[in-house]
Chains A and B, each alone.
Chain A
Amino acid sequence: MTLDTVIPARVLVTKIGLDGHDRGSRIVAAYLRDAGMEVIYTDPWQKLEAVVALALQEDVDVIGISSLATDHLLVPKLMKALDEAGLGHIRVIVGGIVPAEEEADLLKAGVSRVFHPGSGREEIVEAVAKLAVDAADDRTDD
């Protein structure tokens, strides 16, 4: 008999910058929820400091940033801010409209994965689940 329950992955799904088109982030939040994850969902237009504070307080494993109008250009700054806050273990993914040459920059900045239009539910869910495990393995404080 086992009483151990599987601990759901905790994922922050949010948007930074000035674009408010949140349909994509809502759909991804629902995908992850239906895959058994706990999703912290916010309004768009989050400041980078707010994303760091949210990730810290909610102790998330993965952050998903939706970007449809160049907001992903802010993500390298976010990566740096997370690192400075001691949250370097958190995996960050970006989904939306990201040109190929800018994808390379994001990956170089530490983003784990970029999802383009047409990415399927299973592909996203599988990747996030794996990244959550990686993040948990990388924690240094317990």
Chain B
Amino acid sequence: MKQATPEMPALARRLINGETAALARAISVVERDTPQAIEILRAIRPHLGQAIVVGFTGPPGAGKSTLVNAYVAELRRRGKTVGIVAVDPSSPITGGAVLGDRIRMAEHTLDEGVFIRSLASRGALGGLSASAAQVADLMDAADRDVVILETVGTGQSEVEMATIADVRVVIAAPGLGDDVQAIKAGILEIADVLVVNKADQPLASQTRRQLNAMLGLRATAEHPVPVLSTDAINRVGVADLADAVTVVADRRDRQTDRSALAGRTRHLLAQAVSKAAEAHVMNSRSEKVEDILHAVQDARLGLTDAAKQILGGILGYNANEQ
């Protein structure tokens, strides 16, 4: 039984007590990264580590949202409560976004055991938004048994998810052009479970064979990566997927895995630093930054050295000393 302490921010207390509106609101607060956000995140800390965080990634059109929808239905049959973080891209030009992942999850809209939140990537690379890890934490604290992270579909660089999720599911589908093109280096290495969706299509077995061959070539894996077939629309193979996720989750002792948690924090910190540095360079009109900018423009200074000089200026130390 979770007990909320009285000095906690009201929103955190309501969230821990399972109030849906408080979870929704807390996510907005954390997305805005206000002083209140850090208070909420501190208050929920003792309540973390209960949920299994499952990441779903893969190229656009592979069927991520449809498979997540089917997987959620299976989890509900198994009596699990679910939180879903569905990330869609923001326009790099206007910052706007149309968030449509939940169109494919409409059957769960009225189920109180399923909470879906659509996030825009807001310029973050790597398939998630900057606050996705913290949003997953909020859902964990709000007593969701399983938290699902669905990334933006690019299928080639979503290693971000690897640092946040306990179980990484990588989805491929036949007929998206060159099969192997769809899953390149980086994304394959992070997979705990590989899924070939749209298994009813004629080329599916070929895609599966190619994935198995690529896995065979991979240097070493502590645990073999299962390659599953699903037909998400017709709910074929989804129970097997749920079982495979459970197997991976069970061999991770999430709460005691402090080094993984520290690694995740380091990663998030690095991300925040690069974001802050980017804002500094973009907004600064300081003489020093302008000098460095002109030096790069005139090819008197390389980009890496320029970056080190700027970081040195911000942090007040010599960035060459690692």
B96 near A41 (CB under 8 angstroms)? Answer: no
CB of B118 closer than 8 Å to a CB of A: yes
A38 near B20 (CB under 8 angstroms)? Answer: no
Task: For residue A42, give the distance in angstroms from its CB to the closest CB of chain B.
Answer: 6
- The CA of A41 and the CA of B116, in the complex, are separated in Å by 13
B94 near A57 (CB under 8 angstroms)? Answer: no
Partner among B24, B31, B110, B280 whose Cβ is within 8 Å of the Cβ of A1: B280
- The CA of A69 and the CA of B231, in the complex, are separated in Å by 37
Chain B residues near A10 (CB-CB < 8 A): 28
Query: By the criterion of a CB under 8 Å from any partner CB, how many residues of chain B are at the interface?
Result: 39
CB of A120 closer than 8 Å to a CB of B: no
Query: By the criterion of a CB under 8 Å from any partner CB, how many residues of chain A are at the interface?
Result: 35
Partner among B32, B106, B115, B283 whose Cβ is within 8 Å of the Cβ of A2: B283
A59 near B24 (CB under 8 angstroms)? Answer: yes
Chain B residues near A2 (CB-CB < 8 A): 279, 283
Using A2-B279, A53-B110, A59-B25 as known contacts, say yes or no to A43 and B103 having CB atoms under 8 A apart: yes
Partner among A1, A47, A141 whose Cβ is within 8 Å of the Cβ of B25: A141
Using A47-B110, A58-B24, A86-B21 as known contacts, say yes or no to A33 and B97 having CB atoms under 8 A apart: yes
A141 near B110 (CB under 8 angstroms)? Answer: no
Residue of A nearest to B22 (CB): A141
Chain A residues near B28 (CB-CB < 8 A): 10, 59
B94 near A36 (CB under 8 angstroms)? Answer: yes
Chain B residues near A36 (CB-CB < 8 A): 91, 94-96
CB of B136 closer than 8 Å to a CB of A: no
B283 near A1 (CB under 8 angstroms)? Answer: yes
Task: For residue A25, give the distance in angstroms from its CB to the closest CB of chain B.
Answer: 11
Interface contact tally, CB-CB below 8 A: 96
- The CA of A2 and the CA of B122, in the complex, are separated in Å by 17
CB of B236 closer than 8 Å to a CB of A: no
Task: For residue A118, give the distance in angstroms from its CB to the closest CB of chain B.
Answer: 24
A39 near B95 (CB under 8 angstroms)? Answer: no
- The CA of A42 and the CA of B20, in the complex, are separated in Å by 21
Partner among A6, A39, A54, A141 whose Cβ is within 8 Å of the Cβ of B98: A39
CB of B274 closer than 8 Å to a CB of A: no
Scan residues 21-59 of chain A and give those whose CB is less than 8 A from a CB of chain B. 29-30, 32-43, 47, 49-50, 53-54, 56-59
A35 near B94 (CB under 8 angstroms)? Answer: yes
Partner among B32, B99, B283 whose Cβ is within 8 Å of the Cβ of A41: B99
Scan residues 116-131 of chain B and give those whose CB is less than 8 A from a CB of chain A. 116-118, 120, 122
Chain B residues near A56 (CB-CB < 8 A): 20-21, 24
Partner among B22, B32, B91, B109 whose Cβ is within 8 Å of the Cβ of A33: B91
Residue of A nearest to B83 (CB): A57
Contact with A along B7-42 (1 / 0, CB 8 A): 000110000000011101101110110001000000
Task: For residue A139, give the distance in angstroms from its CB to the closest CB of chain B.
Answer: 8
Partner among B11, B95, B106 whose Cβ is within 8 Å of the Cβ of A43: B106
B32 near A7 (CB under 8 angstroms)? Answer: yes
Residue of A nearest to B23 (CB): A57
- The CA of A29 and the CA of B98, in the complex, are separated in Å by 7
B97 near A39 (CB under 8 angstroms)? Answer: yes
CB of B100 closer than 8 Å to a CB of A: yes
The 6 closest A-B pairs by CB, nearest first: A33-B96, A36-B95, A59-B24, A36-B96, A36-B94, A50-B109
The interface of chain A, by Cβ under 8 A from chain B, is 1-3, 5-8, 10, 29-30, 32-43, 47, 49-50, 53-54, 56-59, 85-86, 141-142
20 contacts between A and B (CB under 8 A): A1-B284, A6-B95, A30-B98, A33-B96, A33-B97, A33-B98, A35-B96, A38-B120, A39-B98, A39-B99, A47-B110, A49-B110, A54-B102, A56-B20, A56-B24, A57-B24, A57-B116, A58-B99, A141-B10, A141-B25
The interface of chain B, by Cβ under 8 A from chain A, is 10-11, 20-22, 24-25, 27-29, 31-32, 36, 90-91, 94-100, 102-103, 106, 109-110, 115-118, 120, 122, 275-276, 279-280, 283-284
